[in-house]
Amino acid sequence: MPGTLILVFHRDLAASRANSALAEAARTLQDVEVIDMQARYPEARIELFGEAARDAQMLLKAERIVLQFPIQWYSTPSLLKEWQDAVLTRMYYIEREAEGDRLVGTPIMVAATAGNFPAAYTRGGQNHFTVDEILTPLRATAHRCGLPWHKPYLVFEADRLSDQALSTAAKEYCRALSDFITVTSTQSRNSETI
């Protein structure tokens, strides 16, 4: 199992432009594994006592975790919520000592794409709330699970990016991942870097 585990939650990665480009770029990095979670769970159902055990073991082997997804309705794709409800519930409420306690200290980072532009995500803007505010439930979950939160990597106007802008975004993603890897390799795993 590689050091950095990137779980991509996208309803149809084959039809995606932004997330697939980010995922492809990330795959070129050393010691990074990218998993298409929709392909892993085509029915979008995860059994608490079944597949969740497999994901728990996968998380426990990783040195750091990245959750990558498109923002949908000011939230995450529903499979990510299903995954939390199954995998994190199992790890922290059913197998706390064997699994949850052992995951504590594993750094986590979010990489999210948004259709709207940055100014929309301001108090006076169209969406009224910032992306950081929209990510609060995930950050609270990370806090609850003892997973140090790192600065999210965000791509705005994801549906409108030119090929060149998308290629730049993919390169910046690789840089953000490399920074995440460096900082979590050299610092105490328990410290946030935001």
Ligand X SMILES: Cc1cc2nc3c(=O)[nH]c(=O)nc-3n(C[C@H](O)[C@H](O)[C@H](O)COP(=O)(O)O)c2cc1C
- Would you tell me which residues interact with ligand X (CB under 6 A)? 10, 16-19, 70-74, 113-116, 158-159
Smaller CB separation from ligand X, 14 or 186: 14
> In terms of CB distance, is 34 or 147 closer to ligand X?
34
In the complex, what is the shortest distance from the CB of residue 95 to ligand X, in angstroms, rounded to a whole number?
A: 33
DSSP letters, 51-109, are HHHHHHHHHHH-SEEEEEEE-BTTB--HHHHHHIIIIIHIIIIISIIIIIHHHTT--EE
Quote the least distance from Cβ 19 to ligand X, whole Å: 3
Quote the least distance from Cβ 129 to ligand X, whole Å: 10
Q: Of 70, 18, 16, 22, which Cα lies nearest the Cα of 6?
A: 22
Q: Return the SS3 of 39.
A: helix
Minimum gap (Å) between residue 70 Cβ and ligand X: 3
For ligand X, the closer of residues 17 and 175 by Cβ is 17
Nearest-angstrom CA–CA distance, 76 and 9: 8
Q: Which is nearer to ligand X, 65 or 112 (CB)?
A: 112
